[in-house]
Amino acid sequence: MAKTKIPNPDELGKIDYTPPKKHWMDIPVEIKPDMYCHGAKAKSLKVVDFPNARDWTPAEADWKLPEDWKKIVLEGISERLKKYRTFHVFMDICVRCGACADKCHFFLGSGDPKNMPVLRAELLRSVYRKYFTTGGKIFGKTAGARELTLDVLKEWWYYFYQCTECRRCSLFCPYGIDQAEITIIGRELMNLLGLNIEWIAGPTANCYMKGNHLGLEPHTIKSTIDFFVNDIEDITGVKVEPTFNRKGAEILFITPSGDLFADPGIYTAMGYLMLFHELGLDYTWSTYASEGGNFGFFTSNEMAKRLHSKIYAEAKRLGVKWILGGECGHMWRVWHQYHNTWFGPMDFLEEPVSPITGTKFANAKSTKVVHLVEFTADLIKHGKLKLDPSRNDNLVVTFHDSCNTSRGMGFFEEPRYVIKNVCNHFHEMPDDTIRERTFCCGSGSGLNASENMELRMRGGFPRANAVKFVHEKHGVNMLANICAIDRAALPPLMDYWVPGVRVTGTHELVANALVMKGEKERTVNLRNEPLPEKGGDSDV
- Which of 462, 482, 488, 496 binds another protein (CB under 8 A)? It is 462
With binding defined as CB under 8 A, does residue 228 bind another protein? Answer: no
Among 267, 333, 274, 331, CA closest to 505:
267
- Closer of 39 and 144 to another protein (Cβ): 144
With binding defined as CB under 8 A, does residue 24 bind another protein? Answer: yes
Residue 515 beta carbon to another protein: minimum distance, rounded to whole angstroms: 24
Binders in 323-342 for another protein, by CB under 8 A: 336-342
- Closer of 309 and 390 to another protein (Cβ): 309
Give CA–CA dist 182/203, Å, rounded. Answer: 23
Site string for another protein, 488-517 (x = CB under 8 A): ------------------------------
Q: What is the DSSP letter of 536?
A: T
> What is the number of other CB atoms lying within 10 angstroms of the CB of residue 433?
19
Residue 327 beta carbon to another protein: minimum distance, rounded to whole angstroms: 16
- Closer of 311 and 488 to another protein (Cβ): 311
- Which of 258, 264, 265, 408 binds another protein (CB under 8 A)? It is 408
Q: What angle do CA 368, 370, 372 make, to 5 degrees?
A: 160
Helices (runs of H) and strands (runs of E) counted in the chain: 23, 7
What are the Cα distances from residue 242, in Å, to 90, 104, 370, 371, 487? 47, 42, 19, 19, 23
- Closer of 365 and 520 to another protein (Cβ): 365
With binding defined as CB under 8 A, does residue 29 bind another protein? Answer: no
Q: Which stretch binds another protein (CB under 8 A): 33-41, 188-196, 466-474, 512-520?
A: 466-474
With binding defined as CB under 8 A, does residue 82 bind another protein? Answer: yes
Total residues at interface with another protein (CB under 8 A): 120
Residue 105 beta carbon to another protein: minimum distance, rounded to whole angstroms: 10
Give CA–CA dist 199/201, Å, rounded. Answer: 6
Give CA–CA dist 466/540, Å, rounded. Answer: 20
Give CA–CA dist 422/393, Å, rounded. Answer: 10
- Which of 363, 450, 523, 528 binds another protein (CB under 8 A)? It is 363
Residue 363 beta carbon to another protein: minimum distance, rounded to whole angstroms: 5
Residue 206 beta carbon to another protein: minimum distance, rounded to whole angstroms: 11
With binding defined as CB under 8 A, does residue 165 bind another protein? Answer: no
With binding defined as CB under 8 A, does residue 86 bind another protein? Answer: yes
Residue 191 beta carbon to another protein: minimum distance, rounded to whole angstroms: 14
State the chain's maximal CA–CA distance in angstroms. 78
Cβ–Cβ under 8 Å, residues 397 and 509: yes
> What is the number of other CB atoms lying within 10 angstroms of the CB of residue 285?
23
Length of the chain: 540
- Which of 44, 162, 164, 170 binds another protein (CB under 8 A)? It is 170
With binding defined as CB under 8 A, does residue 92 bind another protein? Answer: yes
Residue 178 beta carbon to another protein: minimum distance, rounded to whole angstroms: 5
Give CA–CA dist 323/321, Å, rounded. Answer: 7
Binders in 116-145 for another protein, by CB under 8 A: 116, 118-119, 122, 134-135, 139, 142-144
Cβ–Cβ under 8 Å, residues 488 and 265: yes
Residue 186 beta carbon to another protein: minimum distance, rounded to whole angstroms: 16
- Closer of 146 and 487 to another protein (Cβ): 146
Cβ–Cβ under 8 Å, residues 527 and 512: no
Give CA–CA dist 118/502, Å, rounded. Answer: 34
With binding defined as CB under 8 A, does residue 95 bind another protein? Answer: yes
Residue 62 beta carbon to another protein: minimum distance, rounded to whole angstroms: 31
With binding defined as CB under 8 A, does residue 74 bind another protein? Answer: no
Please name every residue paired with 426 in a beta bridge, in sequence order, or none if there are none: 397
- Which of 45, 369, 501, 526 binds another protein (CB under 8 A)? It is 369
Q: Which residues fall within 8 angstroms of residue 534, CB to CB, at 6 or more apart?
A: 390
Among 110, 310, 125, 71, CA closest to 209:
310
